[in-house]
Homo-oligomer: A and B are copies of this chain.
Amino acid sequence: MTSDPGLRQRKKMRTRQALIESALRLFAEKGYDQTTVAEIAATADIATRTFFSYFDSKDDIVFFDDRSRLERAVEIIGERQPGEPVADLLRRVIDQSVFADTDSELARKVGPARTRLIASVPALQARELHLLFDIQLQLTEALHLACPELDLVEAAAAVGSLVGAIKVVVAACQKRGNRPEQTYKAVQRATDIAIDGLNSLPRPA
């Protein structure tokens, strides 16, 4: 299955790669809205029409490595040791898929720039949230399978609560311009709060 790329596949991959690199470079240079699909295609030496057989939409290209991140996450969940607490399992998932550079060097290369790009373009924010949402649904299924003691609702709540806490905390940090250091600490705190529950929050003085 993972054996023969074949000329066809190799060529497709190269084209795909070229499109991704062209797009991200142009977005960085001229901004997302100022870059047209036609330009991206031209820069990668591809017909405009063909762009859409590689990516469903202009914004999709920014999230080229989402699929592999998801696959990694599902894999981790599938390898759960029977009896391992759900909280521990999900902690590992967060660390090793969300905050790891899953998809080759390219992901690491564009990492921070991409983050800034997404934060600054509403259309990309929306796309990201939508993708993340789909991912959560799939994680829910995987978790439900790997943890027979959880019904579907419990699995969904677990995933939603953890991811939701982290996502909002990260956004709040970015909004106030925190350093990555601070943001990372905040993510840890968010994780703990999701795991220990809202009742673990400080009480009024």
Interface residues of A (CB under 8 A from B): 82-87, 90, 122, 125-127, 129-130, 133, 136-137, 140, 147-150, 152-169, 171-173, 175-176, 186, 189-190, 193-205
**Secondary structure type dominating chain A contacts:** helix
Copies in the complex: 2
A197 / chain B contacts, CB cutoff of 8 Å = 194-200
- Nearest-Cβ distance from residue A107 to partner chain B, whole angstroms: 23
> Is the Cβ of A133 less than 8 Å from the Cβ of B137?
no
> Is the Cβ of B169 less than 8 Å from the Cβ of A160?
yes
From B140, B194, B205, A198 is in contact (CB under 8 Å) with B194
A122 / chain B contacts, CB cutoff of 8 Å = 130
Interface centre among A82, A164, A176 (most CB of B within 10 A): A164
A155 CA / B198 CA spacing, docked (Å): 10
> Is the Cβ of A154 less than 8 Å from the Cβ of B194?
no
Interface centre among A150, A162, A172 (most CB of B within 10 A): A172
